[in-house]
Amino acid sequence: MLSINQLHHLIRQELENALGSAVAAAKRAHDTATDTESIAKSKYETFGLEASYLAHGQSVRVAQCQADVRDFDALFTRLSGVSETRAPKVGLGKLVELMDADGKSQYLFVGPGAGGLKVTCDEYSVMIVTLASPLGRAMMSKLQGDEFSLQVAGSRRDYEIVMVS
């Protein structure tokens, strides 16, 4: 069975890795944009301008990664020591196992951001989904055993919630 504490640690580690990569890419882009070789010698040379756009985009990515780390830290702090007396509903901070109509299972962690990020915990692959995503909205507030349908790429997919923890 998946350990929620181990999952939290792995998610935090992946978020830190993403932040480190974003910071390195932003530094490279900034260095390129400010290099003397990037100065335009005519109005037709746009390399420096393009490099500055890239540097700006990378700095926005760094800010998003920093926000993801903060949001997950706040979520994990809020979740530590919290125990539920009722059957848990799908919501922020929940680990969900879904089974599709073909009997294929997938594990999802409902997070405040970083949708699509995948981590491997034990032999399980867990993908982060947000409540803003179509899948997150469709699952929100459902209980173990509930079923729902979702339109994906023009076709209907049916799911059952096997586990919520």
Asked which of 18-32, 74-88, 128-142 is least confident by mean pLDDT, the reply is 74-88
Q: According to DSSP H, which parts of the chain are helical?
A: 4-34, 47-79, 134-139
The per-residue pLDDT for range 13-64, each reduced to its tens digit, is: 999 999 999 999 999 988 888 877 767 677 777 777 788 889 899 999 999 9
| pLDDT value for 9 | 92
Spell out where 87-131 has E strands: 95-100, 105-111, 118-121, 124-130
Question: Structure pTM?
Answer: 0.85
Residue 9 vs residues 66, 77, 119, 129: alpha-carbon distances, Å: 16, 12, 10, 17
Tell me whether residue 94 is exposed, middle or buried, using C-beta atoms within 10 angstroms of its C-beta: 0 to 12, 13 to 18, 19 or more.
Answer: buried
Measured CA to CA, the distance from residue 46 to residue 40 in angstroms comes to 7
CATH 1.20.1600.10 corresponds to the domain 95-164: no
Average confidence score pLDDT of the chain: 90
| Cα–Cα nearest to 15, from 59, 69, 74 | 69
Domain locations in the chain as residue ranges: 4-79, 95-164
